[in-house]
Homo-oligomer: A and B are copies of this chain.
Amino acid sequence: MFPPSKTPLKDRLKAWFAPKGKLRPFRLLRQDISNIRKRYLSDWATFNQLVFASAVYVFFTNILPGITFASDLYVLTGMTWGAIEVVFSTGLCGLIFSLFATQPLTILGVTGPFSVLAENIYSLCINSFHVDFLSVMAWSLIHAGWMHYLLAIFNAHDWTMQYVTTFSGDIFSLLNSVIYFHKAVQELQRTHDAVSLASFLYSVIGAIGTFAVAVFLSTANSWAPLFHRYIRMGLTEYAAAISIILFIGVPHIGELATLDKQTLAVQTSFRPSSPDRTVFFVRFWELPIAWIFISIIPGAIITILFYFDHEISSIICTLDRYGTKKPGGFAWDIVLLGTTTAICGILGIPPSNGLLPQAPLHSESLLHSVKVDITTTDEDTGERKIQFVEKQEVYEQRWSPFLQSAGILLFLSPPFQHVLGLTPTSVLAGLFMFMGEQSLAVNPVLYRFFYLLTPPSELPSLPTGVNTYWGIHAYTTLQIIMTGIIFYVTLTVAAPAFPVIIIALVPVRLLVMNKLWGRETLRFVDAWACKEGIPEDDEDRRNGSISTREVERKEAIEDNQSRAKREV
């Protein structure tokens, strides 16, 4: 990423460390701290019904999948980490980020890739080296902590992530949809292996029912004229929550109550999963000194994983289409991430980081229409025109991340855990499908995939400079193939490496693809507004069309009036 140069290394180093240089320590951090001060108070000033609904939605889409991941983790870490550790980490880290992060839209949780990594480390500790897993992990996370600090201090964001393009963003989104659909199928398969055929068939009904009801309710906003506008809004905003609660109830009706059930595995007390532990604290200083140093290796791997994963989550949840305006702060958030990671290590719980697709789903759920005035002045006549354009924007505030993480912490208490334990795994499979669908429905790759299946004669006309659809089709196909490859990787032991592959796509897009695709074609696919798959220009025009016409009509009236005056 550094510009190739023929100047001697010493001069280059000097330039890099100069006040505006790439590696100038604390350059980004200073900026971020100023940003956070600018936005902090206004972040708490916005609170409304949509924000609350968003908190409820994110709560469910965060805690339920978290608990499911936990059941795998529980088995593969020899009962060291279970649901309680995952929920604790998600709630604690989420709360810290909602209070102190620059970008509060990013949702945190224990991620799949980290689980895979942790399982591998566990296996090495126990089977190969016979050393205490929790102490090694604590040190790994402490090491990861200071490594995060270094990345932030030396402005890592500037020389890595700022090049993340729409190309890789689309792929990452699609990957998440695929992963969630796959998880839904896996969840049902697991149910199939555990229960009777009748019970499994009900699970299929429960899963598809949860999914279908949620999707159906999420369209309520367009049901007019049916119900009061606020009722429609409520149904749309709480679609997933209503559907989940409904299908938690259904299996208790009539004959279904007699079926054997698979529900979420929860605990009923607030103490570590492992029977060997009594408190959430690791006596990490008791680890042999050699192992403290060896822990630098897993610490570095975790750092790479967390850094990329968290930054990508933050980037994807603040894409152009969400209309975010407040400044973010990648460096400061990485400092915070290093801190929470080290804390989790000492508490002996898995660390949380930026979570996909929950982070962009959070932004999605905060979207609302805003009317924007655009004043243009006619160059010839000097006349001013005012156009009202409807834009989509998210509420940028801290209440929804704060409430959802506070809610998750609340569910650590035994009575609430009991309630969670009522959730059938089929509801979870349905929720996974819904999350996959919600994420897929706004992915431009989907709409460009539809284009692939349609003869060019039936497609909308292209902007000037783009002659055929073949370039666009090739771009789409490449994205789908890349998604397939990365998905395959996530199924192998190399899974934790997958963010690195996505990062590797950045230079591919910037250096190689620029040579293979026409500039106009790339501009066209990059500018594609994700919502409903309409290129951005078109959508703006459509959204603004009524208001524009309104303005024209007024002008026509004024024109007539002035003519009438002349005639008098």
**Are A225 and B255 in contact, CB atoms less than 8 angstroms apart?**
no
A212 close to B (CB within 8 Å): yes
A291 close to B (CB within 8 Å): no
A226 close to B (CB within 8 Å): yes
Q: Which of A189-206 contact B (CB under 8 A)?
A: 196-198, 201-202, 204-205
Contact mask for chain A residues 414-456; partner B; CB cutoff 8 A; 1 contact, 0 none: 0000000000000000000000000000000000001101110
With the chains together, A454 CA to B229 CA distance in Å?
9
Query: What are 11 A-B interface contacts by the 8 Å CB criterion?
Result: A196-B198, A197-B198, A197-B258, A204-B205, A225-B450, A225-B459, A226-B454, A227-B454, A228-B454, A228-B455, A228-B458
A253 close to B (CB within 8 Å): no
A460 close to B (CB within 8 Å): yes
Provide the residues of chain B in CB contact with A450, threshold 8 Å.
223, 225-226
With the chains together, A197 CA to B458 CA distance in Å?
48
Contact mask for chain A residues 201-219; partner B; CB cutoff 8 A; 1 contact, 0 none: 1101100100010000000
A516 close to B (CB within 8 Å): no
A224 close to B (CB within 8 Å): yes
Look across to chain B and name the residue whose beta carbon is closest to the beta carbon of A460.
B225
Of B212, B225, B255, B453, the residue contacting A197 (CB under 8 A) is: B255
Query: Other than the known A196-B198, A197-B255, A228-B455, what 10 A-B pairs have Cβ atoms closer than 8 Å?
Result: A198-B198, A205-B208, A212-B212, A225-B459, A225-B460, A226-B453, A226-B454, A227-B453, A227-B454, A229-B458
Residue among A202, A204, A225, A258 facing the most chain B CB atoms (10 A cut-off) = A225
With the chains together, A549 CA to B38 CA distance in Å?
50
With the chains together, A226 CA to B196 CA distance in Å?
40
Look across to chain B and name the residue whose beta carbon is closest to the beta carbon of A226.
B450
Closest 5 CB pairs of A and B: A198-B198, A201-B201, A226-B450, A197-B198, A225-B454
With the chains together, A202 CA to B205 CA distance in Å?
9
Provide the residues of chain B in CB contact with A259, threshold 8 Å.
197
How distant is A299 from chain B, measured CB to nearest CB, in Å?
A: 47
Of B205, B225, B229, B458, the residue contacting A451 (CB under 8 A) is: B225
Residue among A197, A224, A450, A459 facing the most chain B CB atoms (10 A cut-off) = A197
Look across to chain B and name the residue whose beta carbon is closest to the beta carbon of A203.
B201
Of B201, B208, B225, B454, the residue contacting A198 (CB under 8 A) is: B201
With the chains together, A202 CA to B200 CA distance in Å?
10
Provide the residues of chain B in CB contact with A205, threshold 8 Å.
201, 204-205, 208
Look across to chain B and name the residue whose beta carbon is closest to the beta carbon of A563.
B563
With the chains together, A452 CA to B468 CA distance in Å?
51
With the chains together, A453 CA to B229 CA distance in Å?
11
Provide the residues of chain B in CB contact with A460, threshold 8 Å.
225
How distant is A454 from chain B, measured CB to nearest CB, in Å?
A: 5
With the chains together, A457 CA to B458 CA distance in Å?
41
Q: Which of A503-544 contact B (CB under 8 A)?
A: none
Residue among A226, A227, A229, A460 facing the most chain B CB atoms (10 A cut-off) = A226
With the chains together, A202 CA to B208 CA distance in Å?
13
Provide the residues of chain B in CB contact with A227, threshold 8 Å.
453-454
With the chains together, A451 CA to B460 CA distance in Å?
37
How distant is A246 from chain B, measured CB to nearest CB, in Å?
A: 15
How distant is A261 from chain B, measured CB to nearest CB, in Å?
A: 14
Contact mask for chain A residues 454-497; partner B; CB cutoff 8 A; 1 contact, 0 none: 11001110000000000000000000000000000000000000
Look across to chain B and name the residue whose beta carbon is closest to the beta carbon of A556.
B556
How distant is A32 from chain B, measured CB to nearest CB, in Å?
A: 43
Provide the residues of chain B in CB contact with A228, threshold 8 Å.
454-455, 458
Provide the residues of chain B in CB contact with A202, threshold 8 Å.
201
Contact mask for chain A residues 537-564; partner B; CB cutoff 8 A; 1 contact, 0 none: 0000000000000000000000000000
With the chains together, A198 CA to B204 CA distance in Å?
12
Residue among A228, A258, A451, A454 facing the most chain B CB atoms (10 A cut-off) = A454
Contact mask for chain A residues 224-237; partner B; CB cutoff 8 A; 1 contact, 0 none: 11111100000000
How distant is A143 from chain B, measured CB to nearest CB, in Å?
A: 49
With the chains together, A255 CA to B228 CA distance in Å?
47
How distant is A250 from chain B, measured CB to nearest CB, in Å?
A: 12
How distant is A91 from chain B, measured CB to nearest CB, in Å?
A: 37
Provide the residues of chain B in CB contact with A196, threshold 8 Å.
198
